[in-house]
Structure 1
Amino acid sequence: MVSKGELSKLKLTVIAEDTVAYESPYLGQHGISFLLTAERDGIKKNVLVDVAQNPTALLENINMMQITLSCIDAVVLTHCHYDHTQGLGTIIKEIGKKDLPIIAHPDIFRLNFITDPYLRHVGVMDGDKKADIEASGGTIYLTKDPLEIMPGLITTGEVERVTDFEEVGINLFTIENSEVKTDMMLDDISVVVNVKGRGLVIITGCSHAGIANVTRQAIKLTDTEKIHGIIGGLHLIEASESRIKKTAQALKEFNPDWIYAGHCTGFRFQVELYNTFKDRFSPLHTGMIVEVP
């Protein structure tokens, strides 16, 4: 599938992230949530990408940002982890729409756990499962394929793993046929926006598929090589120096106009991004607004 559509305008608001700007009134939390406002041919759609993990803090920020919840037309979940999905049932109820599209990978509701520092499930929590979402008014679109929300706004679908230096970034496990298996986070998806005259904006949750792989997929999906911007979590917080260097080099070759990275990106990779891109890089923070053009 190739998405040929373009948006005329994109506004991206960071509703939740791990950090807040100096003297900001907003509440930070471990997690991420974006509001995308997309415009094309006089049509405006608002898409919520992830909901972080604390619905009380998220709703407080939404109120301070004067965002009307009923304006949200769809929700994209980038992957299963609790810091991107917890409180989803509550948020859907607050939006108050019937048949609200909730877009995710088919594996999103599986058991996903870590054993360090102790055994615990880190995937979708009780209250946010499939039945909870549907009872709250959501209609779930589970697909491995890219899904076009409107021309110029598409999910990546399951991302092809091409590079030899990228990895999930954390030791995760699941259980299949009663056997413990390494979880490769195949449910990790991102959102791709193509803005007329500017190029692609890639919105990620954690980039467990690898940001170079995600970017390659975005280019393939849209048949557009110009990368205007990359924003979100890149999950190199525990990466080796070798992976950090190789990832920065790969992004340099894609030559984005800007990169705004935070959440799970990690301080060392943020420093590497600054050294590579200078003022084209900025750390992500709650309350940040990006408008294109």
Structure 2
Amino acid sequence: MKLKVLVDNNTYIDEYYLGEPAVSYYLEDGDKRILFDTGYSDVFIKNAASMDIDLAKLHYLVLSHGHNDHTGGLSHLLKEYENNEDLTIIAHPHTFEEKRMDDILISSPLSLEEIGKNNRVVTTRTPFYITEKLIFLGEIPRVMDYEAKAPVGIRNSEEGLVEDYVLDDSALVFTGEEGIYIITGCSHAGICNIIEYSKKVTKKDKVAGIIGGFHLFDVNEQVEKTREYLKKQNIPYLYPCHCTSFKVKASFLQDLNIEETGVGLVLEWI
């Protein structure tokens, strides 16, 4: 499988792409072409064009969760490539609900009803096999006592306005020859919870690599416990990015192999 970073907070020196504080990755697994998240805007489309990636030929769009730094480009994608009859959109059922933080709208620009008018949409809480080796995890159980304890704003649910614990936060897991590789959006569910569920779903214990946001900002007890957990996993390659602060990454360097992430990064897994 091949992964290319289309959108990240960072861009590499001598790589002339655009950046924004968001996430979008392009994946190829066999003959299947997958887009994971759409960033804030149309930056992912511009960067894809610069990388000679034809988004008109996508088979799947996977959304990690509903926040607008991951879904903001949806309207651009569906307008630009509205004639793609092969496209299936995969997400958790809460992904398209209205979400707010301090009265600021932070949700998808399009509702499920709007998207579903002209597109195939699969909403699922359970794991969904995109290919034989690539799985959308669905809703991730929260088993660690130090993760995912605080709400992130509110959401407009079927029951009305409720605190949003971002239960729609999900991830992808790829089963490779060296172990499993995990692709996250923001890890609101907790990166350790995501790892544990990935192992359970794949029935594999070895984690060979992770890329994506870890949603860790301050070096605190949660970060220390996360670092100890990751150290025990002995993961060869870690690419924490997006919503992972410099201080957190620096603290991880004591014990972990932290790699730099930026627009233009290419990873290949077998």
Same fold per superposition (TM over 0.5): yes
In structure 2, what is the Cα distance between the partners aligned to 1:169 and 1:234?
A: 15
Report matched runs for 1:1-293 at 5 Å. Answer: 10-39=1-30, 44-55=31-42, 57-95=43-81, 96-98=83-85, 100-115=87-102, 119-125=103-109, 128-135=110-117, 137-167=118-148, 171-176=152-157, 180-195=161-176, 197-237=177-217, 239-277=218-256, 280-293=257-270
SS of equivalent residue, structure 2 residue 27: strand
CA distance in 2, matches of 1:170, 1:27: 31
Deviation track 1:205-264 (CA, whole Å, cap 9, x = no partner) reads 000000000000000001001111000011002x45111111111111122110011100
Q: Which runs of 5+ in 2 are unaligned?
A: none
Residue 23 of structure 1 deviates from its aligned partner by 2.7
Q: CA deviation at 1:92?
A: 2.8
Q: Separation in 2 of the partners of 1:102 and 1:219?
A: 24
SS of equivalent residue, structure 1 residue 282? coil
**8 Å contact from structure 1 (residues 32, 84) kept in 2:** yes
In structure 2, distance between residues paired with 1:268 and 1:171: 22
Instruction: Give the TM-score taking structure 1 as reference length.
Output: 0.87
Q: Tell me if structure 2 keeps the 8 A contact 1:169–1:235.
A: no
Distance apart, 1:36 and its partner CA:
1.1
Offset at 1:66? Answer: 0.5
RMSD of the TM alignment (CA)? 1.7
Aligned residue type for 1:83? D
For residues 138 and 168 of structure 1, do their structure 2 counterparts lie closer, same or farther at Cα, with a shift above 3 Å needed? Answer: farther
Could you list the structure 1 runs, at least 4 aligned residues long, displaced by more than 4 angstroms after superposition: 175-180
- Conserved 8 A contact 2:60-2:88: yes
CA contact under 8 A between 1:82 and 1:122: conserved in structure 2? yes
Per-residue deviation at 1:134? 3.2
Q: Name the residue aligned to 1:7.
A: none
Relative contact order (alpha carbons < 8 A, sep ≥ 6): 1 or 2 greater? Answer: 1
Distance 2:164 2:5 in 1: 28
